[in-house]
Amino acid sequence: MKRVSLTPAVFHLSDRVNAVAPEYARQPIVPRGPALKPILDRLRGKVTDQLEVSDTHEAVIISSSGSGAIAATIGSCVDDNGFLVIANDVYGQRQADFSEQLGIKTVTYSLDFGVKPDLAEIERLVDEHGIKTIGMVHGCTSVGLLNPIAEIGAFCKKKNLKLIVDAIASIYVEEIDIDKCGIDALICSTNKALHSNPDIAFSVIARDYLDEMAQRPGRIPYLDLHKTWQLQSKGSHPYTINIRALLEFEAALDDFNERGGLTARINMYRDRLAILRAGYENLGLKTFLREGMEQQNIGTALYLPEGLTYDSLADELANWNNGDGECYEIYSAQGELSGEVFRIFNMGEYPLDTYRRFINALETCINKLLKG
């Protein structure tokens, strides 16, 4: 039985990415000197080339999940004037929590989940607290919505503020114009829309920002991005880095580029969403939407139908067996919305028919539970 993952972050990957581990097992690579340098050089170049920021930004790569890059970026980038975090989902709240735990002066602009942030309120908070750095999330995975980075980026440019964006759920599947949005640090990982394993995260940081960061040590010793960048620009890394995961990252990025890059990935996801969202509508499922906030391409947040619990639905789908050889893992909502909303993601290497079969399974399971 193939357990199809309709969850964020771990799902089936391409043969090309999966081929890396057995090859690496035959010949592991020592993460030092002559073997590491060409890999780091190639990867760092491919990342900034794909984002079209080779002239202005540098990629700094670490071994961790996405949250490690959130901590590293906040701890390394934010100056002592403090950090204003737009927290309208779980991951914005995470930025604020990390920042506070790091002892940074943190001002949290808390909103109900998914509610569009208000520029006038951001301006008021910036002026009141003398903040020079804003943190926000682009793809709000916990609610399936996109924050308006272009609008807030234009505001940051006008006010000469640094902008740090968590793009973990949007890189490689949403348009991100780093230059136009004036993004100084873009936080990313390899295991969402890029379709690699969850072992590598990275931050894409403006060179002039890195120059400023040279004047203050990073707040987390192991996750000091300026120090890491200095070494990576010479082809080394301060600690052991997972080379197998770096090679999987490269295989996924090559695969992504050769299959048509960002436009093709967006179209691939939109084709899936066309099947899925039509199916939800047919089933009368209500989508979690908020005014002024567009939907993400990686998935959809839906209200649980009246009389149905998330656990019972997830359980039915996980035990689905109609002879097609597939069962399905879905995801609950996080934080304040759990109990009310559930989520279905459409990442990973699955054919369109899988999504058609899933909609059929979803319909059968919901009907069975509501009758039973």
Ligand X SMILES: *Cc1c(COP(=O)(O)O)cnc(C)c1O
Q: Would you tell me which residues interact with ligand X (CB under 6 A)? A: 8-9, 65-67, 91, 137, 139, 141, 166, 168-169, 189, 198
For ligand X, the closer of residues 141 and 354 by Cβ is 141
Output the six-digit token pair for 282: 């047919």
How many helices (H) and strands (E) are present in the chain, helices listed first?
13, 15
Q: In what order do the strands lie in the sheet with 57-63?
A: 57-63, 200-206, 185-189, 162-166, 133-137, 83-87, 106-110
Cα–Cα distance, 62 to 58 (Å, whole number): 13
| Residue found under tokens 């040590």 | 217
For ligand X, the closer of residues 66 and 182 by Cβ is 66
For ligand X, the closer of residues 65 and 257 by Cβ is 65
CA-angle at 96, arms to 211 and 112, nearest 5°:
135
Q: How far is the CB of 18 from ligand X (least distance, A)?
A: 20
Q: How far is the CB of 370 from ligand X (least distance, A)?
A: 31
Cα–Cα distance, 89 to 28 (Å, whole number): 40
| Surface-to-core class of residue 317, CB atoms within 10 Å of its CB (0-12 exposed, 13-18 middle, 19+ buried) | buried
For ligand X, the closer of residues 88 and 354 by Cβ is 88
Q: How far is the CB of 65 from ligand X (least distance, A)?
A: 3
For ligand X, the closer of residues 93 and 361 by Cβ is 93
* 67 CB neighbour count, 10 Å cutoff: 17
Residue nearest to ligand X (CB): 66
For ligand X, the closer of residues 144 and 182 by Cβ is 144
Q: How far is the CB of 371 from ligand X (least distance, A)?
A: 35
Q: How far is the CB of 139 from ligand X (least distance, A)?
A: 6
Q: How far is the CB of 137 from ligand X (least distance, A)?
A: 5
Which of these, 212, 214, 213, 151, lies nearest to 183 by C-alpha position? Answer: 151
Q: Are 108 and 85 in contact (CB under 8 A)?
A: yes
Q: How far is the CB of 91 from ligand X (least distance, A)?
A: 4
For ligand X, the closer of residues 236 and 242 by Cβ is 242
- Gyration radius of the chain over CA positions: 21
Q: How far is the CB of 203 from ligand X (least distance, A)?
A: 12
For ligand X, the closer of residues 91 and 310 by Cβ is 91
| Surface-to-core class of residue 215, CB atoms within 10 Å of its CB (0-12 exposed, 13-18 middle, 19+ buried) | exposed
**What values do phi and psi take at 11, rounded to 5?**
-165, 180
